[in-house]
Structure 1
Amino acid sequence: MNKQFIKTTATLFIGMMLGTVTIAAAAPEVFQASIAKLKIVVNGKEQKLKNSPLLVNGTTYLPVRDVAGLLGANVDFNKGTITIAQKKVQPTVNTIESINGRDLVEILGKKYPDFKISLSNEGLLKLGDNIIHLTVNDDSTLNVTPLKDSGFISKSDL
C-alpha cells in the first residue's frame, strides 16, 4: 500500500507539473505601452500619422502602413506576411544647363547690380556673401543647375 501511495503521488505530481507548463506556455505575454508623442518629418516636411506610435520598454514602434505611405510605398498583409514595396515612380529628367563664364557673370551682374561677383577658372562663384561651386564641363562651360536650384537664376534668365 505504501508503494501504491508513492506511485499515485508521483503520477499526480508529474501531471500537475506538465499541466502547469502547458498553461504557462499558452498564456499571452503582457506588456505595458504608452502612446509616443512624436513629430514625424519626411523630406523636411512635418507629417501626421493616422495611428499613434507606441513606446514599449524604451523602444518606439511606428505603424508600418502609415510610415510606408509617407515614404511612397505600398503595404500588403497576406497569410501572416507583411510585404512592403516601393511604388513605381516615373523618373524625372534633369536637363543640365550650361553657360560660359563671361555670359554668366554678365547675367548675374544685371540681375544683382549691388553684389560683388567673381568667378574662378575652377568654377568657384562668389555672389555677394554667397559662395557657390559650379561644375566646369569638358567644353569649359559651367553647369548652372546649383544656381537654378538655389533660386539665384531661372531658366528665363538664360
Structure 2
Amino acid sequence: MRSVFGLAVALAAFWMANSGYLKPMLLGFGVVSIVIVIAIVKRMEAHDGERFPLFVPSLRLPGYLVWMIGQIIASNIDVAKRVWLGRKSLSPTILTVRAEAKSDVGKVLYANSITMTPGTVTLFVHDDTFEVHALTEAGAEELGRGVMGRKVAALEQG
C-alpha cells in the first residue's frame, strides 16, 4: 500500500511540474491519468514477480546521475569532434559486456545508460550480457573496462 501511495505522490508531482495549471478540468485529467497508471502498475506487479523500487534506496543515486551527465557531455564532445574529422576517425565496433546488476531494473538502467551515452547503443540484451555497438574502438574499450556497470551495480547495494 505504501508503494501505491508513493507512486501516486510521485506521479502527481510529475504532473504538476509539467502542467503548472490548477484548473479543475486539468486536475481531473491528472487524477484520472494517475489512477490508470497505478492500475497498470498493480497489474504488472501481479505478473512480473519483481517489484519496481519506486525510490531507489541508495545515497549513491545523485552521484551516479552527476557522473552520468558528465559522461553524456564528454561523449557528445567526442562525437561532434569525430563528425568534423570525418570517416577515418571512426572505427565501429560491436562488443559484448556483462551486466553486474542482479535485478531487472538494474539491467535496464545499465542498458539505457549505455544507449544514452552518445556513440554507444545497446543492440541486444541476453540475460546478463549486452551486445553493444560503439562508434570507436576507444569507446568500446572504455565501456569494456566496466566502470558504468560497477556504478549501476553499486546502486543496487545501497
After TM superposition, the score normalised by the length of structure 1 is: 0.22
The structure with the greater share of residues assigned to helix is 2
Q: Which of the pair is proportionally richer in strand?
A: 1
Higher RCO, 1 vs 2 (CA within 8 Å, ≥6 residues apart):
2
Larger radius of gyration: 1
